[in-house]
């Protein structure tokens, strides 16, 4: 018999999943928007971001947002809209390369460490814990001094702090899955460790990676912005949101607010998109039930 007090009440799990789907849809739309912007940036701008002010603009003096220049122009005469759109492409390039490096390094190490155990597991766990305790931005800044500027170099500097996260998640899943009966049966039938890892373990432990990927992507954008703000990210001739904010510091006291507002807004929305996407995926894949 159903208690009258529970009649008409919403299931907490169902309500949470409904909210998660809304967050997932919003995050997906924001992310899709910025991916589309990155792909079609050259089509949506009247001039490239490398064009000189005298060639691109009829008046190189800074202009506020208007009908001709929607986001205004910088004090050097560059179109803020063009540099913001191309900054989206630079951010996505670094995010994709950085997360790919983290995946390629962290996932195999986590599987091998969790499956084999022993001294190798303890040594890798100590190394990853040591890296994980270091602040991500500080570690990226230190590496940026070593590897220099550039998309790939910035991606390396950003990715190092994410490798321990993939390692720990995959290692913990591997440690729990390797005791399952189907793994024991595969070993009894003579499957080699390589075959067990690639055929039986990989597709079971990889399910949690998409959630971590989206959350790390959001964090990577912020770290790249921090590197650009410090002048350690991409080359100066490449439009990047963090470097645009650094250049805008001198313009803000004179009332030129648009050179900082639009790159900052783009960074905020893109980070929010990846964050909402990650949170939505996390709730849907692993909803927390109330007893």
Q: How many CB atoms lie within 10 A of CB 192?
A: 10
Q: How far is CA 183 from each of CA 120, 193, 202, rounded to the nearest angstrom?
A: 21, 10, 12
pLDDT of residue 109: 92
Please check the confidence at residue 291 and state whether its pLDDT lies above 60.
no
The tens digit of pLDDT for each residue in 226-283 reads: 888 888 888 877 888 888 888 888 878 888 888 889 999 999 999 999 988 888 777 7
Confidence of residue 12 (pLDDT cuts 50, 70, 90): low
Confidence of residue 136 (pLDDT cuts 50, 70, 90): confident
pLDDT of residue 148: 79
The tens digit of pLDDT for each residue in 27-86 reads: 899 999 999 998 888 777 765 555 445 445 555 567 788 887 788 888 777 888 888 888
Please check the confidence at residue 2 and state whether its pLDDT lies above 60.
no
pLDDT of residue 179: 78
Which tops the pLDDT comparison, 20 or 52? 20
Q: Are 277 and 214 in contact (CB under 8 A)?
A: yes
Q: In the chain, pLDDT over 70 holds for what percent of residues?
A: 85
pLDDT of residue 15: 56
pLDDT of residue 267: 93
Q: In the chain, pLDDT over 90 holds for what percent of residues?
A: 15
Q: Mean pLDDT lowest for which of 52-61, 140-149, 160-169, 211-220?
A: 52-61
Please check the confidence at residue 158 and state whether its pLDDT lies above 90.
no
Which tops the pLDDT comparison, 17 or 81? 81
- At 288, list the tokens: 């927390």
User: For the chain, which domains are there?
Assistant: 35-285 (1.10.3720.10)
Average model confidence (pLDDT) across the chain: 81
pTM of the model: 0.80
pLDDT of residue 123: 93
| Mean pLDDT computed over 3-29 | 66
Confidence of residue 126 (pLDDT cuts 50, 70, 90): very high
Please provide residue 66's backbone torsions phi and psi, each rounded to the nearest 5 degrees.
Answer: -150, -175
């Amino acid at each position: 018999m159903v208690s009258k007090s529970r009649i008409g009440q919403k299931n907490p799990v169902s309500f949470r999943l409904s909210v998660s789907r809304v967050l997932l849809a919003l995050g997906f739309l924001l992310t899709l928007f910025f991916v589309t912007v990155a792909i079609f940036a050259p089509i949506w701008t009247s001039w490239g971001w490398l064009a000189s002010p005298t060639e691109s603009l009829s008046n190189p003096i800074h202009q506020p947002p208007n009908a001709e220049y929607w986001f205004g122009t910088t004090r050097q005469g560059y179109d803020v809209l063009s540099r913001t759109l191309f900054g989206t492409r630079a951010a996505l390039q670094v995010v994709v390369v950085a997360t790919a490096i983290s995946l390629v390094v962290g996932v195999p190490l986590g599987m091998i460490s969790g499956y084999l155990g022993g001294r190798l597991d303890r040594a890798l766990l100590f190394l990853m814990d040591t890296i994980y305790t270091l602040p991500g931005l500080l570690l990226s800044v230190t590496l940026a001094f070593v590897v220099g500027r550039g998309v790939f170099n910035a991606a390396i500097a950003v990715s190092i702090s994410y490798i321990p996260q993939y390692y720990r998640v995959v290692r913990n899943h591997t440690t729990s899955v390797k005791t399952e009966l189907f793994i024991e049966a595969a070993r009894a039938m003579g499957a080699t460790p390589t075959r067990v890892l690639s055929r039986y373990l990989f597709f079971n432990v990889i399910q949690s990676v998409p959630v971590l990927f989206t959350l790390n992507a959001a964090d990577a954008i912020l770290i790249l912005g921090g590197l650009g703000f410090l002048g350690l990210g991409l080359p100066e001739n490449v439009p990047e949101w963090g470097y645009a904010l650094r250049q805008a510091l001198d313009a803000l006291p004179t009332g030129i607010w648009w050179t900082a507002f639009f790159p900052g807004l783009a960074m905020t929305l893109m980070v929010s998109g990846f964050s909402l996407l990650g949170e939505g995926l996390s709730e849907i894949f692993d909803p927390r039930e109330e007893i």
